[in-house]
């Protein structure tokens, strides 16, 4: 395997225009094998940039492990790791155990209730948007949808929704935004542990209350779910809630923000969508997720010497699966840099690649994006981005900080 001089871990690379990043990933895919990316002051990693590499690593979690973390190039400090150890950074059998219990809580009735809540919330958000007028699309439209739905599903009291939103945003910024300045007297690590502790405490209090007084919400379903004698403890529940409010928020919020930017810069695709929403909206949502790729990458850790697609790895190697590159792989997607809402098939990895870690909330995220875009383009067909998006300064998510909109 060859080493490259492109620093895929550095913000200089991720701050480039999308076209420059795409060129770099295309050159790495053309090599035909994983390339080693050294880092000056930390362990390097192998970059999986081709679609087949990402898929095969995802399908082999017993070799390409999610532990100790899948969301950071560096191992988190012990205090944060204890609080962040959710399903996304666990392997079987612990991962399978938690996923079985959580999946049991996603009953058909719970899903129908969430879908009804999504429809009502989309209407409320657009009502407020019409009354308010031009504004920041991220803050007023894209952000409220996923967080309000998650809080509603979990049964979080409305009185603390604002606190949960603040804690979630602080977490995301502390993890991945080098421009973020923590409050005076605190560093990123301290703030990270504080906000994680708050979310865990909130969920612990609610879990104890629901054990005594069950309600029609997911926390009740989770604390009462029992699969083969196994149930969630308070630490498991806190970790799951943290995963929901961070991962669920980021994916949907950024997909919605990118959708407005894409339909603004591709007026022909907008006209096609508006000509027949029922026909084109499902495929449009998939193309938004592929083109935007809200999560750029995930890390894996090699547990034993192995060959993958003819290339050798050794135990202890770190690999990074670049979804953002796999979704541009010319061998899978025709004309991959085009935004084409009629693209079919569209086997993107925007929600992760096939395997045990495929996004548990993909169905709900698709529902949120679909319902919000339908509400927006039905009632405000001329809504558009009024300026270029301001991007988040992070490598992990393809995030948009702000996006002025007008209509």
In this predicted structure, the answer to whether residue 35 has a pLDDT above a threshold of 70 is: yes
Give, in degrees to the nearest 5, the angle at Cα 211 between 243 and 246: 10
Q: Which two tokens stand for residue 86?
A: 């959710």
336 vs 86 pLDDT, higher one: 336
| CB neighbour list of residue 101: distance below 8 Å, 6 or more residues apart | 222, 225, 227, 230, 231, 232
**Residues 233, 236, 240, 241, Cα dihedral to 10°:** 60
Q: Using the predicted structure, report yes or no on whether residue 1 has a pLDDT greater than 60.
A: no
DSSP class of residue 140?
I
260 pLDDT more than 60: yes
Whether the upstream peptide bond of residue 16 has omega within 30° of 0, thus cis, is: no
Average per-residue pLDDT in the chain?
89
Write out the two tokens for 159.
């009185």
Q: How confident is the model at residue 170 (pLDDT cuts 50, 70, 90)?
A: confident
pLDDT of residue 186: 77
Angle at CA of residue 352, ends 349 and 358, nearest 5°: 130
* Cα 35 to Cα 19, 28, 43, 210, 313, distances in angstroms: 21, 7, 14, 50, 11
Q: Pick the most confident of 71-75, 87-91, 122-126, 201-205.
A: 122-126
Q: What is the pLDDT of residues 135-169, one digit of tens each?
A: 999 999 999 999 889 888 888 988 998 898 888 87
- Cβ atoms within 10 Å, residue 64: 26
Q: How far is CA 142 from CA 148, 252, 272, in A?
A: 11, 7, 23
What's residue 180's pLDDT? 67
406 contacts 143 by C-beta, under 8 angstroms: no
**Could you identify the residue written with the tokens 């509400």?**
375
Q: Which pLDDT score is estimated for 124? A: 97
- Rounded CA separation 139/86 (Å): 27
Residue 61 to residue 355: CA distance in whole angstroms: 8
Extended beta strands in 122-174, E state: 135-136
Per residue in 202-256, pLDDT (tens digit) is 999 999 999 999 988 888 888 887 766 777 788 888 888 888 887 778 889 999 9
Specify the DSSP class assigned to residue 91: -
Q: Could you give the percent of the chain with pLDDT greater than 70? A: 94
Residue among 114, 105, 103 at smallest CA distance from 145: 114
Q: How far is CA 168 from CA 70, 111, 238, 241, 308, in A?
A: 19, 23, 13, 11, 37
Q: Which helix (H) or strand (E) holds 313?
A: strand 311-313
- Summarize pLDDT for 280-308 with one digit per residue, the tens: 999 999 999 999 999 999 999 999 999 98
pLDDT(393) > 70: yes
Average pLDDT over residues 357-378: 94
Q: Is it the case that residue 176 has pLDDT exceeding 80?
A: no
CB 136 within 8 A of CB 405: yes
Cα maximum dimension of the chain: 60
Examine the pLDDT at 398 and tell me if it is beyond 60: yes
The reported pLDDT for the residue numbered 8 is 93
Pair 316, 45: CB distance under 8 Å? no
**Where do the domains of the chain lie, and which CATH numbers do they carry?**
11-406 (1.10.630.10)
Residue corresponding to tokens 């009291």? 157
| pLDDT of the residue at 84 | 65
* Closest-CA residue to 288 (of 370, 217, 216): 370
- Cis upstream peptide for 358 (omega within 30°): no
Q: Which residue has the tokens 């979080």?
A: 156
Residue 177, pLDDT score = 64
Residue 79, pLDDT score: 67
DSSP string covering 239-275, please?
A: HHHHHIIIIIHHHHHHHHHHHHHHHHH-HHHHHHHHH
**Per-residue confidence at 81, pLDDT binned at 50, 70, 90?**
low
**Burial bucket for residue 30 (CB in 10 Å: 0-12, 13-18, 19+):** exposed
Residue 316 tokens, joined: 């202890």
Question: What is the distance between the terminal CA atoms of the chain, rounded to a whole angstrom?
Answer: 52
């Amino acid at each position: 395997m060859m080493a490259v001089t492109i620093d895929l871990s550095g913000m200089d690379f991720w701050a480039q225009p999308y076209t420059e990043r795409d060129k770099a990933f295309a050159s790495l895919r053309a090599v035909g094998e994983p390339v080693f990316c050294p880092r000056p002051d930390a362990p390097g990693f192998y970059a999986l940039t081709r679609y087949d590499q990402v898929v095969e690593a995802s399908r082999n979690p017993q070799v390409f492990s999610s532990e100790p973390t899948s969301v950071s190039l560096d191992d988190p400090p012990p205090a944060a790791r204890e609080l962040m150890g959710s399903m996304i950074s666990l392997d079987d059998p612990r991962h399978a155990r938690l996923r079985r219990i959580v999946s049991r809580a996603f009953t058909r009735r719970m899903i129908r209730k969430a879908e009804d809540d999504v429809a009502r919330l989309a209407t409320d958000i657009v009502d407020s948007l019409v009354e308010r007028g031009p504004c920041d699309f991220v803050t007023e439209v894209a952000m409220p949808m996923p967080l309000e739905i998650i809080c509603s599903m979990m049964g979080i009291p409305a009185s603390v929704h604002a606190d949960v939103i603040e804690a979630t945003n602080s977490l995301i910024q502390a993890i991945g935004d080098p421009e973020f300045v923590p409050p005076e007297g605190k560093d990123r690590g301290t703030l990270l542990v504080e906000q994680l502790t708050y979310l865990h405490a909130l969920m612990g209090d609610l879990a104890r209350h629901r054990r005594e007084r069950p309600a029609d919400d997911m926390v009740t379903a989770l604390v009462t779910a029992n699969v083969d004698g196994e149930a969630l403890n308070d630490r498991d529940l806190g970790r799951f809630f943290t995963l929901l409010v961070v991962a669920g928020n980021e994916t949907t919020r950024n997909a919605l923000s990118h959708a407005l930017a894409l339909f603004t810069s591709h007026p022909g695709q907008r006209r096609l969508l508006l000509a027949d929403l029922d026909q084109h909206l499902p495929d449009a949502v998939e193309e938004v997720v592929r083109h935007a790729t809200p999560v750029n990458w995930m890390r894996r850790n090699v547990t034993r010497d192995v060959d993958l697609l003819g290339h050798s790895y050794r135990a202890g190697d770190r690999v990074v699966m670049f979804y953002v590159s796999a979704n541009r792989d010319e061998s899978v997607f025709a004309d991959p840099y085009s935004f084409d809402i009629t693209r079919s098939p569209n086997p993107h990895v925007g929600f992760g690649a096939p395997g045990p870690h495929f996004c548990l909330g993909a169905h709900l995220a698709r529902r949120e994006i679909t319902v919000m875009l339908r509400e927006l383009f039905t009632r405000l067909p001329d809504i558009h981005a009024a300026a270029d998006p301001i991007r988040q300064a992070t490598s992990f998510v393809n995030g948009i900080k702000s996006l002025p909109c007008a209509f």
